Amino acid sequence: MSTFSLCVYCGSKVGHQPGYEAAARHVGTLIGERGWQLVYGGGNAGLMGAVANAVLAAGGRVVGVIPKSLMDREHGHTGLHELHVVDTMHQRKQMMAERADAFLALPGGIGTFEELFEVWTWRQLGYHDKPVGLLNVEGYYDQLLAFLDQSVAQGFVPAAQRPLLQSSADAVDLLERLARDAKMATAPDDYRKI
């Protein structure tokens, strides 16, 4: 595998706890220090901006993908190695997925949830076999994780799918697991089925 490329989904806002932005900066620093590449939504606001700027400060490579309609609203980042301005949200999400070896969600809102669940469902359907992680910063996702376990217990989420969403409160531990599992991912992507 060439440079490990991690797609990070996270809030376009910073949230109300300082720990959220600190965690985004920490993840960005870890990516940059390891010489990895960040793929993300291309904005320079919220946790998205925090993670991207930390990767850049630590010497890493950053690829952003943003729909042209969101260039103003999400403050399209002009200091990246690559900024792809695409026509639609679907093109954005597909390009981000194609350019990534693994996916990681940090705290965020509806956009983050949608992106996380989309790549997890794509994994369930066999469109890719890349690892998917959730960084549970300061317990932000505790209730979501409990609900997912409830969904398994109630027979709606197959038990085999639940471990495919890896979660941890520890960024170093989670990034290492994602990088290790990405090396084992061998199936070719097939996003044509989307």
List the interface residues with ligand AMP, window 27-46 (CB under 6 A).
41, 43
* Nearest residue (CB) to ligand AMP, 90 versus 183: 90
Nearest-angstrom CA–CA distance, 73 and 100:
24
Check: CB of residue 170 under 8 Å from CB of residue 26. Answer: no
Regarding beta strands 37-40 and 61-67, do their DSSP bridges make them parallel or antiparallel, or are they unpaired?
parallel
Is residue 62 part of the contact set for ligand AMP (CB under 6 A)? no
Check: CB of residue 50 under 8 Å from CB of residue 110. Answer: no
Provide the mask over 152-171, with x wherever binding to ligand AMP is found by CB under 6 A and - wherever it is not.
Answer: --------------------
Applying CB under 6 A, among 112, 140, 171, 174 the residue interacting with ligand AMP is 112
DSSP conformation class of 88? S
Q: Which of the stretches 8-16, 77-85, 98-106, 171-179 binds ligand AMP when contact is defined by CB under 6 A? A: 8-16
The two three-digit tokens of residue 109, written as one number: 């809102």
Is residue 94 part of the contact set for ligand AMP (CB under 6 A)? no
Provide the CA 106 distance to its chain's centre, in angstroms. Answer: 7
Interface residue list for ligand AMP (CB under 6 A) = 11-13, 41, 43, 70, 74, 89, 108-112, 114-115
